[in-house]
Every structure is written in C-alpha cells, then in structure tokens.
Structure 1
C-alpha cells in the first residue's frame, strides 16, 4: 500500500511539473520568440519571398512545353469539283482515318524591362520580409513584456488584497467582540465589517483580472492557454533592474536604424522600382523560340505501323515587340509612379522626425516613471505607518472608526499607485527597447 502511495505521488508530481512552468520576463520573451504565432507567420513570409524570387528568376530562363494529340476522323472531309471538265462533279477525299501529332516548344526571353525590375523587386521583397521578421520579434518582446508586467501587477495586487483582507477580518472580528462587550458602538463595528466586505469584493474581482492577464500573457507567448504559468520575477525587482539599465537612455539614437524606419525605407525602394518599371516599359521586348513538330497519318489505328506516314517539321523564330504610341497613357503612368515615390519619401522623412521626438519623450517618461515609482514606494511606507499608528490610537480610544477607515483606504490607494507607477515605468522601458532594437545590436 505504501509503495502504491509513493508511486501515485511521483506520477502526480510529474504531471504537475508538466502542466505548469515558471518564467522570468527574459525567459518568457525567449519562449515567445520560438513559439509565438506572429514569429511563425513572419518566418513563413521569408520563405514566401524566396519563392517569389525564384518565380521571377524563372521567367528569364528557358521555358519548354510539349503537346500531343491523337485523332480519329469519323468522317473525312472532301472537296467536290469537276476535275475532268465533263460536267460531272467528282469528290476528292483529304486526309486519313487516323492522325497523331506531337510538338516541343522552347522559348527564351532575351530582354524585357519588366523582367529586370521583377528581379530587383524580388530582392526588395526578400529584404522587406527579413525586416518584417526583425520588427515582429521586436514587437513581440515588447508586447510580452507589457503582458508580463500586467500579470505581475494583477498577481501582486491580489497578494496585497489577501493580506489586507486578513488584516480587516481580524479587526472586524475584534470590533464585533468589543461592541458586544459595550466598548465600541454598533456603528463602528458595522463600519469595519463594511470595509471587510468591500475588500472581499475587490479581491474577487482582482483574482478574475489576474486570470485574464495571465491568459493574455500566454497568448502573446504562444504558450498553451490551458496550462498553468507561474511568474518568477517581482515587480519591484524589475523596476530596480530597469533603473540600473541606464544605457538605454545614454545610447545615441539613430532613427534610420530603427525597425520602423527600415520598414518604411524598404517601401520607398519599392516605389522607386515602380517608377523604373514604368520607364522601362518604353523599351522593346525581345525573345526567341524553337519548335519541333511531327505528324503521323495512317489508315490504321496503329499510327506507328507500316501503313503510317510521319511528317516532321521544325523552326526557329525571333520576336520583338516595340511600344510606339499610347496616346500619353505610358507617360501618365510614369508620372503617377513618381508621385507615389515622392509621397513615400515624404512619409519616410516625417517618420524620421517623429521617431526622434518619440525617443526624447520616452526617455523623459522613463526617468519620470522611475522617479514616480520611488516616490510612490515611499508613500506606501508612510501610509502603512499612519495606518498602524491610527490602529494604536483607535485601540487607545484616541481615534474614531472613520479615521481608521480613512487611513486604511489611504494605504490601499498608495499600494495601487505604487503598482501602477511600476507598471508604467516598465512599459516605457519596453517601448524604449523596441525603438532602439537595432542600436542595441551594434
């Protein structure tokens, strides 16, 4: 029996170990880079760009096709005329009952402006897919960090509310006994029970929010939502490490190296190629082809028999297509492409200026967020001391239940303000890391 219990415990422990996993913020981000849906889609986009390049490349390589046909003429056509000039119409039947033919065609493109642009565009598309991968990874790390911060905030809020619930439960029970002994009024006892009920409701709501926050984190990570995930980091530890990581705010920011700028710059290159494509449309398209055909004719179904006749033929041809006149349509297309290119350039310049402004704002908000957290942390310590002092004064009959309630509310508000300040500071750090993704790799 004892062996059975031990075996069951081992199996249960193994099951629990598989069903839940503990993550730090860094390990959650690493897990997401390997499992998140967005990264998988970005990887497929790179493969797709490679296939598009191969498709465009194949257009300029030899193209061969073969064809074949087998024909049974149920009734042959005939020519009716007066061959002898005697006034009697004669019928001349053409063809044989059975025919077959096969052919091979090989085409080779010599020059086409759109083909040249297609090869260049495929390279731009491949670069765009690679930039998209970098952007997806940077965005993923940012969103996982924000979801992790939110989950931590929710989890620590629940822990604080549980501790305060126990504190108020003891206080409400004590005041109830004091009321029964005639030491405090019924109103004071009811007020404390009201405080307890309020925090119990707040705890129930916060627990639900914590579950939702963890589900969001698992979704961002690509982690199975039905499995349990545990958070290894603490909010305050993350803020302390963020404050120590001052290099983010001291590294010189180059907007042209940000993933957002690189993505927009790639679009500008695509717009330039569109202009080139329209301009090269004025040039001729040149190609050559080779055809080899053979035809079999027979009065028997077996076209390879002795009664069959084969007729081979082959040719080599060259072709050229020169655009001569389009009533201004070609020129209008070139001008439209140039306008779109200029629009893309202006958008890129606007983005560059916006990134510089965004970086300056984030650096300022990050520093302010750290300072605000430190101030709120000090406020929590002050609010706790005030609450504890009011409790002593109340026990000594020097403070009212209303004052005790106010100090408890003040303490709860200070805790929430500290948690919100921590989350805000960490989120600003995540935004700053995203903005400086390429700078950090230098």
Structure 2
C-alpha cells in the first residue's frame, strides 16, 4: 500500500499539468462596470473557448478532406516461409516424358521468399472529393458562425445576470438607508421613553419594523452572493474571486441614450446558421448523387524480391530482383439496387425540414422583436409613473417627518410614510432595470447585442 502511495505521489509531480495551480485571471481592483464584465467573459468564458475549439477542429477537418486528393504513399514487406511448397497440377508430359492424358503434380516455387516495396495511389477524378472540399470550406464558415452565436449568448447572459445582481444591490442600498433612518428614530424614542415622553409601544413598533428590514437584508445578501457566484461562473473566472459591480448601467442617462434598431432577420446568427446548414444539405445531396459518377485512380508499385531455399537474405551476395508497375483504375457504378436514389430522397426531405425550421425561426424572430419592443415602451411608461410616484412619496415622507417632530403627526403616519417611500424607491429602481433589460432584449432580437461591448 505504501508503494502505491509513493507511486501516485511521483506520478502527480512527474507531469507538469497535474501539479500546476489554476491559472490566475487578472481582475481589475476597482469596481466592474458592464463593459469590464463583458470583456472578462469574452476572454475567459468556457463556452466561447469550446466554440473556438470547434472552429479550429473544422480547419483540421478541411485538411483531412483535402488529404484525400494528395498522393497516398505506403511501404510494405512480405516474408513467406513455406513448410511445404504448394503443389500444382499440370498435364502429364509437360515437363518431361509422360502420357498427356495423365495429371502430373509438381512443386513450383521455393520454400522462402522476401518482398519489400512502395505503393503510390493518386486520385485523378472523383466528383465526391470535389464536393467534399466545398462542403469542408462551408463547414469552417458554419462553425465560425456558431462561435459568433455563442459569443452573443454569453454577452446576453452576462448582461442579464449583471443587471439582476445590480437590481438586488440597489434594493439593498434602499433597505440600508431605511435601516439607518429607523435606527436613528429608535435612539430618539429610547430617550423619550426613558423620560416618559412617548409610549413604549411606539418604540416597539419601530423595533419590529427594524427587525423586519434587517431580515430582508440578510435574505437579500444571500441572493446577491448567489447571483454574483453565477455571474462569475458564466464569465469563466473563479467563483471565489471577489468582485464589486458598478451601477452605472442602471441610471436614467444610460437608458435615455438607447437607440432603437429595426429588425433585419438576416443579421441574426441563428438565421445565418440555418442558411449555412441549407448549403451543407445541398452539398450532401450532390455528394450522394455523385456516387453514381465514374472515378479514376492512378497507382504504382515499386518492389524488390528475393527467393531462396534457406534464409540467407542478409548475405551480400544475395540476388534481388526488381519489379515495378503503374496503372489506372476506373470504377463506373452501374446498378446499386436504387440505394443512391433512396439516400438522395432522404436528403431532400432533410432540406425541406430545414426550410420549415427557417420559416419558424423567422416567425420566432419577429415575435421576439415585437415582444421586446412592446415590453420596452410599456416599461418606459411605467418608469415615468414610478418616478412621479417616488417624488410624491419622498415629499410625503419629508412633510410627515416634520409634522412628527413638531408633535402634530403620530408615529404610525411616519412609519407608513417611510414604508411607502421605501416601496416607491424599490419600484423605481426595479423599473430602471426592467427598461434596461427590455433594451437588451431588443438588441438580442435584432442580432445587435454585441453593441454593448463597444
């Protein structure tokens, strides 16, 4: 058992990749705005890295297809040792006196032979090969477009989660301000209760509200932690990396600078992917039909042979005989039982299915754009109403607080005004985020989501 542990220990440190620590990812020391998060995600996202690997793999696949048209060279060697030389039947009298009607059995050949040579095959004409080259080039374009689609999805996911965390952090700031306000009121009431100026029940009401807000903050802290952890996960950075987000994306100025974009389905990568798939299906159909075309291959064989009754091929005096040939091989399909016709029909059906997928994708794109624009304009209208409501709630709170300090308003009115203002602030902040989310959905539906990275 000890030897097993020692071997495992040595194996671990014998390979550099196993013992290395995780690669350090440089994180800006200050707070991160949305653009900084997107840049980190584009550099470190595992989804993007995998998509780029697929893109690189497509290049190697193209080289693999291209290799089929290059000379195929191989060497070979054969050694034969016949324990008993194979007998051959020949007519009697062929190699000596005998009756022609008899059959003579003789041994032709020698017990041992050695042969070594090189073969060369060169494709001269094959329709499938030419079509395969075009399909391989199109496959590169296909995976490149898939990489762009993955990049867009990563940008969208990071932006949406960034806004989600920002929304919760704004809510936390709102709660924290109200907690500080209630703590100040609590200290005042404690002094007044000590001097019998107010009832203790008023102090208890404040304590209950304060405890409720603190519980909400604790729950919110947990949700923020979870949101940040997931954001770091999709960004491709270690989840234990401390980061802090700026809230510059959620403000009226950023929202006001947004420019609407019209829908152009051809600019969406999902439509582009389907179009490239259609081209690939066209090549598939042509390739199937091309299997009925003739193919021509040139070949050559250069070899040396030696024969012996005993194994003496290493002797310097051994005689080697040279052989060589060149030739052409023409293959012309005549009848395959309608297999090609059936495969071609299946390929046509796949093309028709793809056309249905594209039509549905166009409808889905239009629906997505309509929903996003409808949500955006409704969110703007609600934002204006919430902004006016917040201003009104702040005015009511200021007036109620003044009346309370002058003894003209009960504590319940002050607590109610504070609760109303807190809810109005939360609604306004949430609506700011909803407007920004609607803007992102418009950009995504029009294929312009990468605009937010510049």
TM-score by length of 1: 0.84
SS at match of 2:150: helix
Provide the rounded CA distance (Å) in 1 between the counterparts of 2:389 and 2:115: 94
1:256 lines up with 2:266 in the alignment: yes
SS at match of 1:230: coil
Gaps of 5+ in 1: 1-16
Provide the rounded CA distance (Å) in 1 between the counterparts of 2:87 and 2:293: 49
The alpha-carbon deviation at position 29 of structure 1 amounts to 1.4
The aligned length equals: 417
SS at match of 1:229: coil
The alpha-carbon deviation at position 172 of structure 1 amounts to 2.6
CA contact (8 A) 1:153 1:235 kept: no
CA contact (8 A) 2:174 2:426 kept: no
- After superposition, the CA RMSD in angstroms is 3.0
CA contact (8 A) 2:155 2:450 kept: no
Residues 134, 292 of structure 1: alpha-carbon distance in 2 compared, 3 angstrom cutoff? same
1:45 alignment partner, one of 54, 64, 73: 54
1:229 lines up with 2:229 in the alignment: no
CA contact (8 A) 2:262 2:446 kept: no
Residues 311, 77 of structure 1: alpha-carbon distance in 2 compared, 3 angstrom cutoff? same
Provide the rounded CA distance (Å) in 2 between the counterparts of 1:395 and 1:140: 53
The alpha-carbon deviation at position 19 of structure 1 amounts to 8.1
CA contact (8 A) 2:38 2:155 kept: yes
Structure 1 residues 236-278: Cα deviation after superposition (integer angstroms, max 9, x where no partner): 43x42232222xx1x4432112212111211121222222222
Residues 94, 331 of structure 1: alpha-carbon distance in 2 compared, 3 angstrom cutoff? closer
Higher helix share: 1
1:240 lines up with 2:263 in the alignment: no
1:364 lines up with 2:374 in the alignment: yes
The 5-angstrom pairing of residues 393-432 of structure 1 reads 393-432=403-442
CA contact (8 A) 2:440 2:449 kept: no
The alpha-carbon deviation at position 125 of structure 1 amounts to 0.9
Provide the rounded CA distance (Å) in 2 between the counterparts of 1:438 and 1:279: 40
Moved more, 265-274 or 314-323: 314-323
CA contact (8 A) 2:83 2:111 kept: no
The 5-angstrom pairing of residues 72-221 of structure 1 reads 73=81, 75-77=83-85, 79=87, 94-97=109-112, 99-221=113-235
Provide the rounded CA distance (Å) in 2 between the counterparts of 1:95 and 1:57: 45
SS at match of 1:48: helix
**Runs of 4+ deviating beyond 6 Å:** 80-85
1:30 lines up with 2:10 in the alignment: no
Partner residue in 2 for 1:334: 344
Provide the rounded CA distance (Å) in 2 between the counterparts of 1:80 and 1:63: 37
Partner residue in 2 for 1:6: none
Provide the rounded CA distance (Å) in 2 between the counterparts of 1:80 and 1:322: 36
Provide the rounded CA distance (Å) in 2 between the counterparts of 1:438 and 1:46: 22
Provide the rounded CA distance (Å) in 2 between the counterparts of 1:90 and 1:218: 85
CA contact (8 A) 2:152 2:450 kept: no
CA contact (8 A) 1:20 1:228 kept: no
Gaps of 5+ in 2: 1-25, 99-103
Partner residue in 1 for 2:7: none
The alpha-carbon deviation at position 298 of structure 1 amounts to 3.7
CA contact (8 A) 2:73 2:119 kept: yes
CA contact (8 A) 1:64 1:106 kept: yes
Provide the rounded CA distance (Å) in 2 between the counterparts of 1:255 and 1:91: 82
Structure 1 residues 380-426: Cα deviation after superposition (integer angstroms, max 9, x where no partner): 23222223333333444444444333333322222222222122111
Moved more, 118-127 or 173-182: 173-182
SS at match of 2:218: helix
